[in-house]
Amino acid sequence: MPIYVYQTFEIKQDKFKEGIENLKAIKKFRNENYNHQVELLTPITGNDHTYALVSICDGLAEMELQDKKMFEDESYLELIGEFFLENIIQGSMNTKIYRSAREMKENNK
């Protein structure tokens, strides 16, 4: 069953260009090096500097395995270190995990 990890954060206004470039690099790196799909979501309405990353994994176990791999990878740690320390407002990150709703089977009695 797919798992969706939805992370929102607010980019510092004076670091907007750097933040967007860093997010694009994170998305590309994760899609090329790990077994999950990552999308970058930009706001249409709401707070202009609040962006989101959505990653889709095959299940909770796969999500945990990919997280372990990412946090053991020095190249990835450099990418996210810069992003967290330089480009987003401290305390603005919010992470939620969702799963797909199961399809209901009709009872043919």
Q: Are 2 and 56 in contact (CB under 8 A)?
A: yes
In the chain the domains, ranked by start, together with CATH numbers, are 3-99 (3.30.70.100)
SS3 of residue 43 by DSSP = coil
Global pTM value: 0.84
pLDDT at 108: 55
pLDDT at 4: 96
| 107's tokens | 């009872």
Q: Enumerate residues 6+ apart whose C-beta is below 8 A from 89.
A: 9, 10, 11, 12
Nearest to 55, CA basis, from 30, 37, 42: 37
The backbone region for 59, taken as left when phi is positive above 0, alpha when psi lies in -120 to 50, beta otherwise, is left
Q: Is the dihedral of CA 71, 74, 76, 79 positive or negative?
A: positive
Nearest to 5, CA basis, from 84, 47, 60, 42: 60
pLDDT tens digit at each of 109 positions of the chain: 899 999 999 999 999 999 999 999 999 999 999 999 999 999 999 888 999 999 999 999 999 999 999 999 999 999 999 888 999 999 999 999 999 887 656 655 5
